Amino acid sequence: MRRIALALLLLQALPDTPLMAQDTFPPPGTPAPRPSASVLMQAFAPVDERIGSWIAAGYYAGASLRLEQDGRTLWQRTWGNQRDDSVEFIASAGKWLAAATILSVVDAGRLSLDDQVTTILPAIGGRAGAARLRQLLSHTSGYAPYQPADRPSDQYQTLAEAVSAITPLPLAHEPGTVFAYGGLAMQVAGRMAEVASGEGFESLFQHAIAIPLGMTATHFTPVDGGFGHSPMLAGGARSTLADYSRFLAMILADGVIDGRRVLSLAALHAMLADQVGTAAIPADNFVATVRGAGHHGIYGLGVWRELEDEHGQALVVSSPSWAGAYPWIDRRHRLSAMFLAHVQGPVVGHFDLFNPMTASADLPVLIDRALCTLEAARAPEHAGQ
């Protein structure tokens, strides 16, 4: 009963649009017959060629892609030296996992998305303490996006230590006024979840998300391969193609996997809804860059809202990374998809030479075109039934 009451309170803080009409995903209809392997290979040939060109250019040593539609694997492919079970650091694709983990604490009634930082971390006062949890997870908290250039990278032993180094930094903006994509605020959000739950973040992630989903190879770990210091929650996870695909399948199924609920409908609604609100957004934001989209609600909680319909409902959501990993959901096709790769060589960090984050954004577009072609080809068959 307590969980139900908290879910209702959370919904009261969200727009008045009916839940299923806003940002959760509709239940799949009768799955369409799966096309033959040869038909799929032909349809996805542009995808194969695009990823193959990145491998040939030396940007990646290997890559893999998995598409699931109506809860079934539609197409899966590997390139280069990558295997189905290869583990890669997924950089900002971990933001989606971190947000889901923190939302599980909200589901348990131990946090509210409208909690101010100071409510859970009373040592943090002033403007920094006034920021709300939903703002920390939507890059609208006013916290600086990254450490200043003269500060060391975040290699602290615990999230508590990381937060103690982050919070003295001056706020870049007043909370809620500007969208500034980055990572430091998520450390604060993660620490709030630790204090509220009484668990360390990796343990919390395992119990709330990874174990229920069978994500046995997915962990929040230091991005440099070392051990003994806390990872950046916004960029410090590692995973496999199969693991992350399980997470996406759960999101697409409105928080349920194998008949077990992992996240509530209220949590999914909050995750996928526009959380930018009235905050100013930069003209060169990711969605505008890769989609040419002009909508204002570009971000939810841990996810980009790449496309939305005329009612403001998210159609395509994603959590791309600078390293190449690119998970997304396209509700138009009842599709979840994971591209796994990690950039290498002299182009690392040189986005003028190759930007994995924007390059990978070509894949949802190419796959949308392929699926539209397949669906158009099936239409005459259905018309005669």
pLDDT, average across residues 372-379: 84
Helix ranges (DSSP H) in 279-318: 286-291
| Position with higher pLDDT, 231 vs 194 | 194
The closest alpha carbon to 100, from 207, 183, 217, belongs to 207
Instruction: Tell me the per-residue pLDDT of 105-114, one tens digit each, with 9 for 90 and over.
Output: 999 999 999 9
pLDDT, average across residues 9-19: 37
pLDDT of residue 8: 36
Secondary structure of 58-105 in HEC code, one letter for each residue = CCEEEEEEEEEECCEEEEEEEEECCCCCCCEECHHHHHHHHHHHHHHH
Domain extent listing, the chain: 31-383
pLDDT of residue 347: 87
Q: Is the pLDDT of residue 230 over 90?
A: no
| Position with higher pLDDT, 232 vs 316 | 316
| Position with higher pLDDT, 209 vs 183 | 209
pLDDT, average across residues 119-140: 97
Q: Is the pLDDT of residue 225 over 70?
A: no
pLDDT, average across residues 183-206: 96
pLDDT of residue 20: 34
SS3 (DSSP) at 381: helix
CATH fold label, 31-383: Beta-lactamase (3.40.710)
Q: Is the pLDDT of residue 348 over 70?
A: yes
Report how far residue 335's alpha carbon sits from residue 363's, in angstroms, rounded to the nearest whole number.
13
Sign of the four-CA dihedral 176, 108, 189, 179: negative
Mean pLDDT of the chain: 88
pLDDT of residue 253: 96
Report how far residue 262's alpha carbon sits from residue 165's, in angstroms, rounded to the nearest whole number.
33
Which of 23-32, 34-43, 60-69, 322-331 is the least confident region?
Answer: 23-32
Q: Is the pLDDT of residue 150 over 90?
A: no
Q: Is the pLDDT of residue 59 over 80?
A: yes
Which of 11-20, 26-35, 37-46 is the least confident region?
Answer: 11-20
| Position with higher pLDDT, 21 vs 317 | 317
Report how far residue 174's alpha carbon sits from residue 143's, in angstroms, rounded to the nearest whole number.
8
Q: Is the pLDDT of residue 12 over 70?
A: no
Q: Is the pLDDT of residue 103 over 80?
A: yes
pLDDT, average across residues 201-222: 94
pLDDT, average across residues 81-91: 94
Task: Give the confidence band of 152 by pLDDT, cuts at 50, 70, 90.
Answer: low
Q: Is the pLDDT of residue 379 over 70?
A: no
Q: Is the pLDDT of residue 354 over 50?
A: yes
pLDDT, average across residues 352-379: 92
pLDDT of residue 28: 53
| Position with higher pLDDT, 31 vs 275 | 275
pLDDT of residue 232: 82
Q: Residue 298: phi, psi to the nearest 5?
A: -85, -10
Q: Is the pLDDT of residue 73 over 60?
A: yes
* Sheet arrangement for strand 314-318: 72-80, 60-69, 335-343, 324-330, 314-318, 304-308
DSSP state of 230: P
pLDDT of residue 32: 63
Q: Is the pLDDT of residue 355 over 90?
A: yes
Q: Is the pLDDT of residue 29 over 70?
A: no
pLDDT of residue 370: 96
Report how far residue 139's alpha carbon sits from residue 148's, in angstroms, rounded to the nearest whole number.
17
pLDDT, average across residues 131-143: 98
Report how far residue 365's alpha carbon sits from residue 370's, in angstroms, rounded to the nearest whole number.
9
Q: Count of CB atoms within 10 A of residue 178's CB?
A: 17
Helix ranges (DSSP H) in 72-210: 94-107, 117-120, 126-130, 133-136, 159-166, 184-197, 201-205
